[in-house]
Amino acid sequence: MSFDAFPFWVFLLAVWALYLVIPGNGARKALLIAASYLFYASWAPPYLFLLAGVTIASYWAGLYRRRAVLITAVAGLVALLAMAKARLNPLPVGISFYVLQAIAYVVDRYRGHLPEPAGLFDYTLHMSFFPRLTAGPIVRADEFLPQLQKRARVASATVWEALILISFGLFKKLVIADNLARAVDPVFAGLHASGSRILLATYAFAVQIYCDFSGYTDIAIGAARLFGYRLPVNFNWPYLARDPADFWRRWHISLSNWLRDYVYFSLPGLRAKSRAFTYGNLVVTMVICGLWHGARGPYLLWGGYHGVLLAGHHALRSRGGAKTRPAGIRALASILLMQQLAVVGWIFFRLNRLGDLPLYVRGLAAGPFFSGFNAAEWTAVVLLALVAVAHLIQWRIPITPAAIARPWDPWILVVLLLTALATVVLSVPSQRMFLYFRF
């Protein structure tokens, strides 16, 4: 039951209808737990034991604020994730996300950030809540568990917010990301294409992975809002970032914050006078970020590349080179520069293997640069232009918050209707799995 498939929407509406008529908070939570496990079983029933095992083990470890229990639990969870990524094909959907969520709970309990342990009933819903189970966002216990203490209120404004987020998320995924994939996948399959097609595929992938993943997140947050719960924002227009640190405050925010709080702050030398520890720890943290995506050369290179960018940015700031926030033309130049740096990183990420990098470079330089585009590639050009216009608008007017702030506005309803029609008409016939399901 993927978010972009019809069975999921039948399932979601059925669960929501039952949820609205159930009066008690405990019964509502029981319904959501049952629905979440049914949802996960639709992917692969045996993996329910993995989810249940991680839930029970991390809850038990959180009851004992002892260093030995912490080390054992975290090591066991990391080992489980590593073994799953190495031996299970396909990878159990969502395991990379709910394992990190479990680690966060155990560490926060040990650090005293969660003074009172949650009951297993609420913690099970926290770990399995189906809108965010398959690809995040990674939700901290202190962000979600307090919301379970009382009966969630589903108001008209809440439904409006859900409608906005779900509509935009489906449009991003089905219209933009899936159509861009038709221009990206054939080129990166062999890299035997003209320079213009390779360059177009590169920029198309940068937008594809953003619209695919942020589209999923919009749908997840919107679906959670239908039940009265609020999940954290996971994307904030990362291609409007002005520097590498700003990019990671906007891209996959829940993972960025997780890496900061549970990896970077745990590395040695943070209080040392030498800045070499800071720079080295940034690189190590981002290499681990790459490793989380998979033990492959392209992901490790991508993580190391972003680590070097972050280290360079911090070195520049420490020397007084970036004390003031740029404005006007300088701000636009900073945004455009950061976009190009991000795109270079996506080249490494998208390569099938590191050995393809020479082929990529050779393809840009060899033969005639432009030999024409096919229909899918011209569609990609139009979609990239559309995304560029949306970013220009967002730079001045926050699109989604502005729409959410005007509940049931007739003009916005017309826009949503047109968005829905465009999604139906422009969706590609062949269904494409969300990119982050593979991680």
- Residues in the chain, how many? 439
- How far is Cα 215 from Cα 235, in angstroms, rounded to an integer? 10
Q: Which spans in 88-155 are helix H?
A: 95-111, 120-128, 130-133, 141-144
DSSP 315: H
**Opening angle at CA 388, ends 392 and 293, nearest 5:** 115
**Opening angle at CA 365, ends 359 and 368, nearest 5:** 115
Q: Are the CB atoms for 200 and 380 separated by under 8 Å? A: yes
Single out the catalytic residue among 113, 126, 252, 293.
293
Residues ≥6 apart with Cβ < 8 Å to 77: 54, 57, 58, 99, 102, 103, 106
Q: Are the CB atoms for 38 and 132 separated by under 8 Å? A: no
Does the active-site annotation cover 293?
yes
DSSP 372: -
Query: Longest Cα pair distance anywhere in the chain, in angstroms?
Result: 69
Write the DSSP assignment of 192-259 as a string of letters: -S-HHHHHHHHHHHHHHHHHHHHHHHHHHHHHHHHTT--PPP--S-GGG-SSHHHHHHHSSHHHHHHH
Q: What residues are annotated to the active site?
A: 293
